[in-house]
Structure 1
Amino acid sequence: MKVNEIMSKDAVCINEHDSITHARQLMRDHYLRGLPVIDEEEKVIGILKDKDILNIKATKSNVTVEGYMHACPLITPETDIADAAKYLLDSEIGRCPVVSSNEDRSLEGILSNSDILANIAGNRKLDATVADIMTTNVSTCTPHDNLTKVWPVLLESNFSGLPVVSEKGEPMGIVTRMDMIRSGFIRTSMSDTHATQPKDTTMVEKIMSTPVYSVSPDTPIKDCLKQMLHYDVGRMTVIDKDRIAGIVDRTDILRAFVIGTDPVQ
Protein backbone atom coordinates (compact mmCIF):
# COMPACT_ATOMS: atom_id res chain seq x y z
CA MET A 1 0.00 0.00 0.00
CA LYS A 2 1.23 3.45 -0.90
CA VAL A 3 1.06 6.67 1.10
CA ASN A 4 -1.21 8.34 -1.46
CA GLU A 5 -3.92 5.81 -0.59
CA ILE A 6 -4.13 6.80 3.07
CA MET A 7 -2.70 10.31 3.52
CA SER A 8 -4.83 13.34 4.33
CA LYS A 9 -4.88 16.12 1.76
CA ASP A 10 -5.32 19.88 2.26
CA ALA A 11 -2.89 19.86 5.19
CA VAL A 12 -2.79 22.88 7.47
CA CYS A 13 0.72 24.35 7.33
CA ILE A 14 2.66 27.37 8.54
CA ASN A 15 5.41 29.59 7.13
CA GLU A 16 8.83 29.54 8.76
CA HIS A 17 8.57 33.30 9.44
CA ASP A 18 5.14 33.12 11.08
CA SER A 19 4.98 33.67 14.82
CA ILE A 20 5.14 30.72 17.16
CA THR A 21 2.02 32.06 18.88
CA HIS A 22 0.16 31.75 15.56
CA ALA A 23 1.39 28.16 15.25
CA ARG A 24 0.11 27.40 18.73
CA GLN A 25 -3.28 28.85 17.82
CA LEU A 26 -3.47 26.69 14.69
CA MET A 27 -2.70 23.59 16.72
CA ARG A 28 -5.38 24.51 19.24
CA ASP A 29 -8.02 25.37 16.64
CA HIS A 30 -7.45 22.30 14.47
CA TYR A 31 -6.42 19.88 17.22
CA LEU A 32 -3.13 19.10 15.49
CA ARG A 33 -0.09 17.27 16.83
CA GLY A 34 2.22 18.72 14.19
CA LEU A 35 2.41 21.40 11.52
CA PRO A 36 4.34 21.23 8.22
CA VAL A 37 6.62 24.25 7.85
CA ILE A 38 7.05 25.85 4.41
CA ASP A 39 9.36 28.55 3.05
CA GLU A 40 8.58 31.59 0.91
CA GLU A 41 8.41 29.36 -2.19
CA GLU A 42 5.86 27.16 -0.41
CA LYS A 43 8.27 24.22 -0.23
CA VAL A 44 8.34 21.98 2.82
CA ILE A 45 11.39 22.58 5.01
CA GLY A 46 10.43 20.96 8.30
CA ILE A 47 7.86 20.05 10.91
CA LEU A 48 6.71 21.75 14.11
CA LYS A 49 5.70 19.30 16.85
CA ASP A 50 3.32 19.71 19.76
CA LYS A 51 6.30 19.19 22.06
CA ASP A 52 7.90 22.28 20.53
CA ILE A 53 4.86 24.37 21.41
CA LEU A 54 5.23 23.39 25.07
CA ASN A 55 8.83 24.58 24.87
CA ILE A 56 7.87 28.18 24.12
CA LYS A 57 9.94 30.42 26.36
CA ALA A 58 8.19 33.70 25.68
CA THR A 59 4.89 35.12 24.49
CA LYS A 60 6.39 37.81 22.27
CA SER A 61 4.84 37.88 18.82
CA ASN A 62 8.20 38.25 17.07
CA VAL A 63 9.36 34.74 18.06
CA THR A 64 9.11 32.78 14.83
CA VAL A 65 8.58 29.16 13.86
CA GLU A 66 12.00 28.71 12.25
CA GLY A 67 13.67 28.60 15.65
CA TYR A 68 11.58 25.65 16.80
CA MET A 69 10.99 23.46 13.75
CA HIS A 70 12.71 20.14 13.03
CA ALA A 71 13.87 18.41 9.89
CA CYS A 72 11.46 15.74 8.67
CA PRO A 73 11.93 12.61 6.55
CA LEU A 74 11.23 12.63 2.83
CA ILE A 75 7.90 10.93 2.26
CA THR A 76 6.20 11.07 -1.12
CA PRO A 77 2.82 9.78 -2.32
CA GLU A 78 4.61 6.73 -3.78
CA THR A 79 6.35 5.76 -0.53
CA ASP A 80 5.29 2.35 0.78
CA ILE A 81 3.49 2.67 4.12
CA ALA A 82 5.88 0.21 5.81
CA ASP A 83 8.79 2.47 4.87
CA ALA A 84 6.81 5.54 5.95
CA ALA A 85 6.13 3.93 9.32
CA LYS A 86 9.86 3.37 9.82
CA TYR A 87 10.59 7.00 8.90
CA LEU A 88 8.08 8.23 11.48
CA LEU A 89 9.61 6.03 14.17
CA ASP A 90 13.18 7.01 13.34
CA SER A 91 12.26 10.71 13.34
CA GLU A 92 10.19 10.45 16.55
CA ILE A 93 7.29 12.32 14.99
CA GLY A 94 3.63 11.41 14.80
CA ARG A 95 2.82 13.37 11.63
CA CYS A 96 4.91 14.06 8.54
CA PRO A 97 4.37 16.20 5.44
CA VAL A 98 4.00 14.35 2.16
CA VAL A 99 5.87 16.08 -0.67
CA SER A 100 5.47 15.73 -4.43
CA SER A 101 8.81 14.04 -5.10
CA ASN A 102 12.47 13.89 -4.14
CA GLU A 103 13.11 16.92 -6.31
CA ASP A 104 9.90 18.85 -5.68
CA ARG A 105 9.11 19.45 -2.00
CA SER A 106 5.69 20.96 -2.66
CA LEU A 107 3.20 19.95 0.03
CA GLU A 108 0.81 17.23 -1.16
CA GLY A 109 -0.68 16.23 2.17
CA ILE A 110 0.04 14.92 5.65
CA LEU A 111 0.62 11.38 6.91
CA SER A 112 0.07 10.47 10.56
CA ASN A 113 0.79 7.34 12.52
CA SER A 114 -3.00 7.07 12.93
CA ASP A 115 -3.40 6.89 9.14
CA ILE A 116 -1.01 3.96 9.03
CA LEU A 117 -2.48 2.20 12.07
CA ALA A 118 -5.96 2.36 10.58
CA ASN A 119 -4.72 0.25 7.69
CA ILE A 120 -2.62 -2.45 9.37
CA ALA A 121 -5.07 -4.05 11.83
CA GLY A 122 -4.79 -7.40 10.04
CA ASN A 123 -1.01 -7.53 10.05
CA ARG A 124 0.36 -10.75 11.57
CA LYS A 125 2.93 -8.80 13.64
CA LEU A 126 0.03 -7.57 15.74
CA ASP A 127 -0.99 -11.06 16.85
CA ALA A 128 0.95 -10.68 20.12
CA THR A 129 -0.51 -9.22 23.33
CA VAL A 130 -0.28 -5.77 24.85
CA ALA A 131 2.09 -7.12 27.51
CA ASP A 132 4.68 -7.66 24.78
CA ILE A 133 4.85 -3.99 23.77
CA MET A 134 3.57 -1.83 26.63
CA THR A 135 5.73 0.63 28.52
CA THR A 136 5.87 -0.47 32.14
CA ASN A 137 7.89 2.41 33.58
CA VAL A 138 4.88 4.72 33.80
CA SER A 139 4.93 8.22 35.27
CA THR A 140 1.63 9.35 36.76
CA CYS A 141 0.12 12.47 38.28
CA THR A 142 -2.88 13.29 40.47
CA PRO A 143 -5.87 15.55 39.75
CA HIS A 144 -4.54 18.07 42.26
CA ASP A 145 -1.06 18.34 40.76
CA ASN A 146 -0.21 21.71 39.26
CA LEU A 147 0.48 21.81 35.53
CA THR A 148 3.92 23.16 36.37
CA LYS A 149 4.71 19.66 37.68
CA VAL A 150 3.35 17.86 34.62
CA TRP A 151 4.85 20.26 32.06
CA PRO A 152 8.55 19.32 32.48
CA VAL A 153 7.76 15.58 32.42
CA LEU A 154 5.96 15.87 29.08
CA LEU A 155 8.63 18.20 27.74
CA GLU A 156 11.75 16.29 28.76
CA SER A 157 10.50 12.74 28.13
CA ASN A 158 9.00 10.89 25.20
CA PHE A 159 5.68 10.68 27.01
CA SER A 160 2.87 12.50 25.22
CA GLY A 161 0.45 11.88 28.08
CA LEU A 162 0.40 10.93 31.76
CA PRO A 163 -2.23 8.80 33.51
CA VAL A 164 -4.06 10.62 36.27
CA VAL A 165 -4.57 8.55 39.42
CA SER A 166 -6.35 9.03 42.74
CA GLU A 167 -4.59 9.08 46.09
CA LYS A 168 -5.25 5.34 46.24
CA GLY A 169 -3.60 4.81 42.85
CA GLU A 170 -6.86 4.24 40.99
CA PRO A 171 -6.86 5.39 37.33
CA MET A 172 -9.08 8.45 36.77
CA GLY A 173 -8.09 9.86 33.37
CA ILE A 174 -5.14 11.14 31.39
CA VAL A 175 -3.51 14.49 30.71
CA THR A 176 -1.75 15.01 27.38
CA ARG A 177 0.36 17.58 25.61
CA MET A 178 -2.64 18.50 23.50
CA ASP A 179 -4.77 18.99 26.62
CA MET A 180 -2.18 21.50 27.83
CA ILE A 181 -1.96 23.29 24.51
CA ARG A 182 -5.73 23.53 24.17
CA SER A 183 -6.02 24.81 27.74
CA GLY A 184 -3.79 27.76 26.83
CA PHE A 185 -0.99 26.64 29.16
CA ILE A 186 2.37 27.92 27.98
CA ARG A 187 5.83 28.37 29.36
CA THR A 188 5.98 32.09 30.05
CA SER A 189 9.20 34.06 30.26
CA MET A 190 10.17 35.22 33.74
CA SER A 191 12.37 37.96 35.08
CA ASP A 192 14.18 35.48 37.29
CA THR A 193 16.78 33.98 34.96
CA HIS A 194 17.25 31.02 37.29
CA ALA A 195 13.59 30.06 37.22
CA THR A 196 12.77 26.98 35.22
CA GLN A 197 9.02 26.59 35.69
CA PRO A 198 6.12 28.46 34.10
CA LYS A 199 3.91 30.70 36.20
CA ASP A 200 0.59 28.92 36.12
CA THR A 201 -1.69 27.68 38.88
CA THR A 202 -4.00 25.43 36.85
CA MET A 203 -4.47 21.94 38.27
CA VAL A 204 -4.58 18.73 36.25
CA GLU A 205 -8.25 18.10 37.06
CA LYS A 206 -9.23 21.21 35.09
CA ILE A 207 -7.90 19.91 31.78
CA MET A 208 -7.50 16.12 32.01
CA SER A 209 -9.33 13.83 29.61
CA THR A 210 -11.83 11.27 30.85
CA PRO A 211 -12.96 8.50 30.91
CA VAL A 212 -10.11 6.06 31.28
CA TYR A 213 -9.78 3.89 28.17
CA SER A 214 -8.09 0.70 29.25
CA VAL A 215 -7.06 -2.79 28.23
CA SER A 216 -5.53 -5.71 30.11
CA PRO A 217 -1.99 -7.04 29.58
CA ASP A 218 -3.35 -10.11 27.77
CA THR A 219 -5.42 -8.09 25.29
CA PRO A 220 -4.29 -8.82 21.71
CA ILE A 221 -2.56 -5.84 20.11
CA LYS A 222 -5.08 -5.99 17.27
CA ASP A 223 -7.98 -5.56 19.70
CA CYS A 224 -6.19 -2.74 21.51
CA LEU A 225 -5.66 -0.97 18.18
CA LYS A 226 -9.33 -1.35 17.29
CA GLN A 227 -10.30 0.34 20.55
CA MET A 228 -7.82 3.17 20.03
CA LEU A 229 -9.21 3.82 16.57
CA HIS A 230 -12.81 3.55 17.77
CA TYR A 231 -12.34 6.03 20.60
CA ASP A 232 -9.85 8.15 18.63
CA VAL A 233 -7.28 8.15 21.42
CA GLY A 234 -3.51 8.02 21.24
CA ARG A 235 -2.88 5.67 24.14
CA MET A 236 -4.55 3.03 26.29
CA THR A 237 -3.96 2.52 29.98
CA VAL A 238 -3.09 -1.09 30.78
CA ILE A 239 -4.90 -2.19 33.94
CA ASP A 240 -4.08 -5.30 35.95
CA LYS A 241 -5.94 -5.98 39.22
CA ASP A 242 -7.31 -2.43 39.29
CA ARG A 243 -3.86 -0.88 39.10
CA ILE A 244 -1.89 0.63 36.22
CA ALA A 245 0.49 -1.96 34.81
CA GLY A 246 1.60 0.05 31.78
CA ILE A 247 0.74 2.27 28.86
CA VAL A 248 0.48 1.34 25.19
CA ASP A 249 0.39 4.13 22.62
CA ARG A 250 0.39 4.60 18.86
CA THR A 251 4.19 4.50 18.72
CA ASP A 252 4.33 1.14 20.54
CA ILE A 253 1.94 -0.41 18.02
CA LEU A 254 3.69 1.20 15.07
CA ARG A 255 6.99 -0.19 16.36
CA ALA A 256 5.46 -3.67 16.59
CA PHE A 257 4.39 -3.33 12.95
CA VAL A 258 7.87 -2.24 11.84
CA ILE A 259 10.26 -4.31 13.93
CA GLY A 260 8.25 -6.86 15.90
CA THR A 261 7.11 -7.15 19.50
CA ASP A 262 10.19 -6.71 21.66
CA PRO A 263 8.96 -5.26 24.97
CA VAL A 264 9.69 -1.58 25.67
CA GLN A 265 10.63 -0.79 29.30
Structure 2
Amino acid sequence: MVKSFQGVREAPIKPSNQPILVSDFMSTNLVTFHPEDTIDHVIRVLTRKRISGAPVVDETGKLVGIISEGDCLKEIIKGQYTNTPRFPAAVEEHMTRDVITMPPDITIFDAADRFLTLRIRRFPVVKDGNLVGQISVSDVVRAMPKLKASTW
Protein backbone atom coordinates (compact mmCIF):
# COMPACT_ATOMS: atom_id res chain seq x y z
CA MET A 1 0.00 0.00 0.00
CA VAL A 2 1.42 3.39 -1.05
CA LYS A 3 0.43 6.43 0.91
CA SER A 4 0.47 9.83 -0.70
CA PHE A 5 1.33 12.93 1.27
CA GLN A 6 0.85 16.25 -0.44
CA GLY A 7 1.66 18.45 2.53
CA VAL A 8 -0.04 21.62 3.62
CA ARG A 9 -1.63 23.60 0.86
CA GLU A 10 -2.27 27.30 0.84
CA ALA A 11 -5.81 28.36 0.25
CA PRO A 12 -6.18 29.86 -3.20
CA ILE A 13 -6.06 33.64 -3.25
CA LYS A 14 -9.48 35.03 -3.89
CA PRO A 15 -9.40 38.20 -5.93
CA SER A 16 -10.67 41.14 -3.96
CA ASN A 17 -13.12 43.42 -5.64
CA GLN A 18 -12.96 45.84 -2.75
CA PRO A 19 -11.12 48.99 -3.81
CA ILE A 20 -8.25 50.36 -1.75
CA LEU A 21 -9.45 53.81 -0.81
CA VAL A 22 -7.87 57.09 0.25
CA SER A 23 -9.79 56.75 3.54
CA ASP A 24 -7.75 53.60 4.32
CA PHE A 25 -4.43 55.47 4.25
CA MET A 26 -5.15 59.14 4.99
CA SER A 27 -3.99 60.86 8.17
CA THR A 28 -6.83 61.86 10.46
CA ASN A 29 -5.03 63.38 13.45
CA LEU A 30 -4.33 66.73 11.84
CA VAL A 31 -3.00 70.06 12.98
CA THR A 32 -5.54 72.67 11.90
CA PHE A 33 -5.83 76.41 12.18
CA HIS A 34 -8.73 78.85 12.27
CA PRO A 35 -9.07 81.96 10.09
CA GLU A 36 -8.67 84.28 13.10
CA ASP A 37 -5.39 82.65 14.31
CA THR A 38 -2.32 84.83 13.92
CA ILE A 39 0.62 84.14 11.66
CA ASP A 40 2.78 84.21 14.83
CA HIS A 41 0.79 81.25 16.14
CA VAL A 42 1.03 79.41 12.82
CA ILE A 43 4.81 79.85 12.63
CA ARG A 44 5.23 78.53 16.20
CA VAL A 45 3.07 75.46 15.53
CA LEU A 46 4.57 74.66 12.13
CA THR A 47 8.10 74.82 13.53
CA ARG A 48 7.25 72.84 16.66
CA LYS A 49 5.43 70.11 14.69
CA ARG A 50 7.97 70.20 11.82
CA ILE A 51 5.31 70.47 9.14
CA SER A 52 5.09 72.81 6.17
CA GLY A 53 1.41 73.71 6.25
CA ALA A 54 -2.03 72.81 7.56
CA PRO A 55 -5.72 73.09 6.73
CA VAL A 56 -7.76 76.05 7.93
CA VAL A 57 -11.23 75.17 9.22
CA ASP A 58 -14.15 77.17 10.56
CA GLU A 59 -15.89 76.48 13.88
CA THR A 60 -17.99 73.71 12.28
CA GLY A 61 -15.02 71.83 10.82
CA LYS A 62 -15.62 73.00 7.27
CA LEU A 63 -12.46 73.48 5.23
CA VAL A 64 -12.03 77.17 4.33
CA GLY A 65 -8.39 77.26 3.25
CA ILE A 66 -4.82 76.12 3.67
CA ILE A 67 -1.93 77.96 5.26
CA SER A 68 1.67 77.11 4.39
CA GLU A 69 5.18 78.25 5.22
CA GLY A 70 5.15 80.13 1.93
CA ASP A 71 2.05 82.04 3.01
CA CYS A 72 3.78 82.93 6.29
CA LEU A 73 6.75 84.30 4.35
CA LYS A 74 4.52 87.06 3.00
CA GLU A 75 3.95 88.34 6.53
CA ILE A 76 7.62 87.89 7.46
CA ILE A 77 8.69 90.05 4.49
CA LYS A 78 6.10 92.65 5.45
CA GLY A 79 7.52 92.63 9.01
CA GLN A 80 11.00 93.33 7.67
CA TYR A 81 9.81 96.55 6.05
CA THR A 82 7.99 97.69 9.17
CA ASN A 83 10.83 96.49 11.42
CA THR A 84 8.40 94.30 13.35
CA PRO A 85 9.58 90.92 14.70
CA ARG A 86 5.97 89.93 15.45
CA PHE A 87 3.45 88.76 12.88
CA PRO A 88 -0.05 89.59 14.12
CA ALA A 89 -1.84 89.26 10.79
CA ALA A 90 -4.73 86.81 10.70
CA VAL A 91 -4.47 83.51 8.85
CA GLU A 92 -7.45 84.49 6.66
CA GLU A 93 -5.37 87.34 5.18
CA HIS A 94 -2.71 84.98 3.80
CA MET A 95 -4.26 81.52 3.44
CA THR A 96 -5.01 79.92 0.10
CA ARG A 97 -8.79 79.83 -0.30
CA ASP A 98 -9.14 77.82 -3.51
CA VAL A 99 -8.03 74.47 -2.16
CA ILE A 100 -7.96 71.38 -4.33
CA THR A 101 -9.34 68.53 -2.24
CA MET A 102 -9.84 64.82 -2.56
CA PRO A 103 -12.83 62.71 -1.52
CA PRO A 104 -12.21 59.79 0.88
CA ASP A 105 -13.86 57.24 -1.40
CA ILE A 106 -11.52 57.32 -4.42
CA THR A 107 -8.90 54.63 -4.88
CA ILE A 108 -5.32 55.06 -3.82
CA PHE A 109 -4.36 54.63 -7.50
CA ASP A 110 -6.60 57.51 -8.59
CA ALA A 111 -5.04 59.57 -5.80
CA ALA A 112 -1.55 58.71 -7.06
CA ASP A 113 -2.58 59.85 -10.54
CA ARG A 114 -3.82 63.19 -9.16
CA PHE A 115 -0.56 63.70 -7.28
CA LEU A 116 1.39 63.22 -10.51
CA THR A 117 -0.95 65.24 -12.68
CA LEU A 118 -1.40 68.23 -10.37
CA ARG A 119 2.10 68.11 -8.83
CA ILE A 120 0.77 68.72 -5.32
CA ARG A 121 2.33 66.93 -2.33
CA ARG A 122 -0.75 66.75 -0.09
CA PHE A 123 -4.50 67.05 -0.39
CA PRO A 124 -7.08 67.72 2.29
CA VAL A 125 -9.66 64.95 2.26
CA VAL A 126 -13.17 66.39 2.41
CA LYS A 127 -16.56 64.76 2.74
CA ASP A 128 -19.72 66.88 2.56
CA GLY A 129 -17.61 70.04 2.93
CA ASN A 130 -16.02 68.88 6.20
CA LEU A 131 -12.36 68.06 6.62
CA VAL A 132 -12.00 64.35 7.45
CA GLY A 133 -8.27 63.87 6.84
CA GLN A 134 -5.28 64.51 4.65
CA ILE A 135 -3.48 62.31 2.15
CA SER A 136 0.09 62.91 1.07
CA VAL A 137 2.46 61.44 -1.47
CA SER A 138 4.23 59.74 1.45
CA ASP A 139 0.96 58.09 2.56
CA VAL A 140 0.46 56.63 -0.92
CA VAL A 141 4.05 55.38 -1.13
CA ARG A 142 3.79 53.82 2.36
CA ALA A 143 0.59 52.06 1.28
CA MET A 144 2.20 50.21 -1.63
CA PRO A 145 4.05 47.50 0.37
CA LYS A 146 0.80 46.66 2.14
CA LEU A 147 -1.00 45.87 -1.11
CA LYS A 148 -1.37 42.24 -2.12
CA ALA A 149 -1.11 40.95 -5.66
CA SER A 150 -4.80 40.17 -5.55
CA THR A 151 -5.74 43.80 -4.80
CA TRP A 152 -3.39 45.39 -7.29
| 2:146 equivalent in structure 1 | 260
Q: How does 1:85-234 map to 2 (within 5 A)?
A: 128-181=20-73, 183-185=74-76, 199-234=86-121
Residue deviations 1:53-100, cap 9 Å, x none? xxxxxxxxxxxxxxxxxxxxxxxxxxxxxxxxxxxxxxxxxxxxxxxx
2:46 partner letter: L
Residue deviations 1:178-209, cap 9 Å, x none? 3223x1528x9xxxxxxxxx611122122212
- How far apart, CA to CA, are the structure 1 residues paired with 2:121 and 2:97? 13
Closer, same or farther in 2 for the Cα pair 1:218/1:156, shift >3 Å? same
Deviation at 1:230, TM superposition (A): 3.0
- How far apart, CA to CA, are the structure 2 residues paired with 1:254 and 1:133? 10
Percent identity between matched residues is 31
Closer, same or farther in 2 for the Cα pair 1:231/1:207, shift >3 Å? farther
1:213 partner letter: I
Normalized against structure 2, the TM-score is what? 0.69
Q: Which structure 1 segments of 5+ residues have no match?
A: 1-126, 189-197
3-state secondary structure, aligned to 1:172: strand
- How far apart, CA to CA, are the structure 2 residues paired with 1:179 and 1:237? 17
Q: Which has the higher contact order (CA 8 A, sep 6+)?
A: 2
- How far apart, CA to CA, are the structure 1 residues paired with 2:123 and 2:53? 10
Larger CA Rg, structure 1 vs 2: 2
1:150 partner letter: V
3-state secondary structure, aligned to 1:251: helix
Normalized against structure 1, the TM-score is what? 0.42
- How far apart, CA to CA, are the structure 1 residues paired with 2:71 and 2:113? 23
2:141 partner letter: L
Q: Which structure 2 segments of 5+ residues have no match?
A: 1-18, 80-84, 148-152
3-state secondary structure, aligned to 1:145: coil
- How far apart, CA to CA, are the structure 2 residues paired with 1:201 and 1:220? 41
Deviation at 1:226, TM superposition (A): 2.3
Conserved? CA contact 2:102–2:123, under 8 Å: yes
Aligned residues: 123
- For the pair 1:236 / 2:123, whether they are aligned, the reply is yes
3-state secondary structure, aligned to 1:149: helix
- How far apart, CA to CA, are the structure 2 residues paired with 1:231 and 1:204? 25
